[in-house]
Structure 1
C-alpha cells in the first residue's frame, strides 16, 4: 500500500549476532570460526548501514555481531597457530627412548 511505512528489516543484524556468537564460542573448530566470523562481519556491516539509513532498528545487535565475529576470527587464527607452530612436546628427539617413566616391573627379593 502506498503511504504505509515498511517494517524495519532486522534480519541481517540478528544473523550477524548469531554467527558472531557461533564463531566466538566455536573457535576450537577454526574453519567454522573463520567462516562464521567472516559472515558475521559482512552481515553486521550491512546491518549497521541499514540501521543508519533507518531501514533497521537493531544497530546494536549488528555491532555486537561484528565484535563477536572479529573475536571468533582472532581466536580461530590463534588456535590454528598454536597447533601448527608449537612443537609437539611428547616427541622424544634425543634418541635415548627414556621418557622418565619406567615401563618394566622389577621384583626385589
Structure 2
C-alpha cells in the first residue's frame, strides 16, 4: 500500500491522490496537520531520499517565518518540531521507497 502524507489543501497532495486512484492503486492518506510522520517514518523516508534536507521545503511559509535560510539548524529536529516544513506530498511505498514533492516519475516506479 502507498502512504501519502500531506494536507487536504495542498494541490500537489491532491494530484498524488488522483495519480494513484486513476491507476487503481490503494493509498492511505495521512494529514500531516493532524498527525505528522513519526521519527521512525521520517528516518525511513530520509534514508530513501538521501537525508532529511531533501524533505525540507525552504520555500514554505513555515520556513520563511522561522528564517531557516539565514540560520544553522538540524533538518531532522526542525522537521520533527514543525510539520509545515515538509515538502508535500511525501509518498512512501514500503521500506526504502519514497518521494518528496510532486514527482510523478518516482511514483510510476511504485506500482
Instruction: Give the TM-score taking structure 1 as reference length.
Output: 0.22
Instruction: Give the TM-score taking structure 2 as reference length.
Output: 0.22
Look at both structures and tell me which one has the larger radius of gyration over its CA atoms.
1
